[in-house]
Amino acid sequence: MFNAKKTERKMKAIFESILVLTLIMGYHSHSFAQQATNTGKLSLRKVEPYEMQVTYNKTSHLIFPSAIRYVDLGSEYLIAGKAEDAENVLRIKAAVKDFPDETNFSVITNDGRFYNFNVYYSANPATMNYDLLTMQKATDRENGNDVLFEELGNNSPSLAGLLLETIYKKNKRIVKHIGSKSYGIQFLLKGIYVHNGKFYFHTELRNKSNVPFQVDFVNFKIVDKKVAKRTVVQEKPLTPLRMYKPLDEIAGNSVEQNVFLLDQFTIADDKVLVIEIFEKNGGRQQTLQVENSDLVHARQINDMHLKIN
């Protein structure tokens, strides 16, 4: 009788142990399956790295479609830097001869693209220079890997760039009363567009003279309408966040346009927005004045029926 009860207690203890072990195994199995599922989902959005070789005695160059904003090197095996006077060219080479392990580096460009590179050492790399515009994979362009920049808020750099390009290529004149003309130079504001808290100003410069107009800079500022009483303190400069193309020379008897992206704003009735374009080493400066009524009647981007692919 005693032995039977003792055996029964042992069997009960063994059963409880098996039950606990089963629960533990089930929990870990579920956790592993969940982790595997999450890892699988993450891998679907991974950024595939490019592969390249570097060497110690020669410098490799990478040409990106947009200006370089950020570079991070994976180890001390590499040294890199932007090329002088070329914001979209990265110089990179090995800092150590025959480094044994694979390393990497990452680049973020001004159009919001993220690039990752796996790097290996080679005494004689097969390729020394790379054009990322032609190398860029179709899947990267379709899926995108946009990095959001603080100054653009919730606007992705690729969308902002697409809107700048579309306005430029459509080249419509929807504002017909704002312009200036002197010395054979005509400066026009062709359109004001608004999208997601940002203004897009479409301008055009016509050079009807035989002398090229070298653009020094374009200035946006809010000033009092009473120009004679204006002071520096009363001026409020506005800095464009983006422009479609770099400021360059407008050849004689030619026309160039551009699109500038600024934060959305409005102005009081006693003030105006002044847009100035200055000539380098010249005096053919042109000035536009934009009223608050022009700003509040900016064309919605959707009204343009943009095709965003």
Distances (CA, A) of 246 to 114, 180, 217, 218, 276: 22, 22, 10, 11, 16
Torsion over CA of 287, 288, 289 and 292, rounded to 10 degrees?
-140
Paired tokens of 99: 């480094």
Q: What is the mean pLDDT of the chain?
A: 82
Intrachain domains 50-147 and 160-304 with the same fold = yes
Q: List pLDDT tens digits, range 89-106.
A: 999 999 999 998 899 999
- Tens of pLDDT, residues 264-284: 999 998 999 999 999 999 889
Tell me how far apart the alpha carbons of residues 26 and 49 are, in angstroms, rounded to a whole number: 37
DSSP label at residue 87: T
What pLDDT shows up at residue 14?
Answer: 57
Q: For residues 140 and 162, what is the distance between their CA atoms, to the nearest angstrom? A: 16
pLDDT of residue 301: 87
How is the chain split into domains, by residue range? 50-147, 160-304
First to last CA, the chain: 83
What's the pLDDT at 48? 82
Q: What is the fold of 50-147?
A: Immunoglobulin-like (2.60.40)
Q: Is the pLDDT of residue 236 over 60?
A: yes
pLDDT digit string (tens) for 36-63?
555 555 555 567 889 999 999 999 999 9
Residue 35 has pLDDT above 90, yes or no: no
Between these two residues, 308 and 254, which has the higher pLDDT value? 254
In whole angstroms, give the CA distance from residue 164 to residue 112.
Answer: 15
Segments in the chain forming alpha helices (H): 2-44, 132-135, 138-143, 157-170, 292-296
Measured CA to CA, the distance from residue 170 to residue 40 in angstroms comes to 43
Average pLDDT of 113-136?
88
Task: Give the mean pLDDT of 164-186.
Answer: 95
Record the pTM. Answer: 0.65
Token digits for 142?
A: 């379709």
Task: Show the tokens assigned to 80.
Answer: 């890199």
Of residues 254 and 137, the one with the higher pLDDT is 254
> What is the Cα–Cα distance from 83 to 92, expressed in whole angstroms?
10
Domain 160-304 has CATH 2.60.40.10: yes
